[in-house]
A = this chain, B = another copy of it.
């Protein structure tokens, strides 16, 4: 096998295993060439392979960077079949929460199991930001906290699936924000659940992390079901604020 392919393979595995995190800068071509004892040409060819499959992005004059696992293609795509379904049938919200319960539980489990120190640092950063922000005004930190955990799972399939559901999740999160957060005791409970998820992941307790994350989603789902049964119409219209995923779950 050609050297350039070996190098591209090594780099890709390094990225998958978390040795190089998304958005992180890759050593310069000249550095890599020197360090690996090959010419700069083969380094460039290896990087172009990774570029071709979207693993890295290269910016002239700045360097090469690991591509975000979550592609920036958030065209809301209101024409997608699932979106249309959601518009017409409120029950889809609970269907999604059912799926999320499983996937987020697994994500928390894997994160607690596999997170590198860099991952833990990022999660901590996202969590502290989440704590210091009023979830009603800005759901962005919540989204980051959630995303940090998913990325720390180091499971590209999981990342891919959750990313495919991102837009739908956005709607459910906005629903939960609109319905749950205004209620003081709900907000406190959710905040406490976030804290427990964070602690379980940091303490590297996979089973606990899964259990807590799942019960968290379940809690939100049940709460909203309760609200719906009371007759209060569930608010489903998105805020016009920044995108958010996760202010609970």
A226 within 8 A of B: no
- Interface flags for A224-249 (1: CB within 8 Å of B; 0: not) read 00000000000000110101111110
* Cβ-defined partner of A10 (8 Å) among B9, B41, B245: B245
Check B103 against A99 for contact (C-beta < 8 Å).
yes
Check A54 against B82 for contact (C-beta < 8 Å).
no
A35-B244, A45-B45, A96-B157 given; A51·B54 CB < 8 A: no
* Cβ-defined partner of A98 (8 Å) among B14, B89, B155: B155
Which of A99, A168, A248 has the most chain B CB atoms inside 10 A of its CB?
A99
Stretch of A138-146, A159-167, A189-197 that contacts chain B = A159-167
Question: Which residues from 68 to 123 on chain A have a C-beta closer than 8 Å to any C-beta of chain B?
Answer: 81-82, 84-85, 88-89, 91-92, 95-96, 98-99, 101-103, 105-106, 110
* Cβ-defined partner of A36 (8 Å) among B46, B48, B82, B245: B245
Instruction: State A168–B86 Cα separation when bound (angstroms).
Output: 26
Instruction: For the complex formed, measure the closest distance between the CB of A146 and the CB atoms of chain B, giving whole angstroms.
Output: 16
Question: Which residues from 41 to 75 on chain A have a C-beta closer than 8 Å to any C-beta of chain B?
Answer: 41, 44-46, 48-54, 60
A178 within 8 A of B: no
Check A14 against B52 for contact (C-beta < 8 Å).
no
Instruction: For the complex formed, measure the closest distance between the CB of A40 and the CB atoms of chain B, giving whole angstroms.
Output: 10
Instruction: For the complex formed, measure the closest distance between the CB of A176 and the CB atoms of chain B, giving whole angstroms.
Output: 16
Binding site for B on A (CB under 8 A): 2, 4, 6-14, 16, 19-20, 24-25, 27, 31-32, 35-37, 41, 44-46, 48-54, 60, 81-82, 84-85, 88-89, 91-92, 95-96, 98-99, 101-103, 105-106, 110, 155-158, 160-161, 164-165, 168, 238-239, 241, 243-248
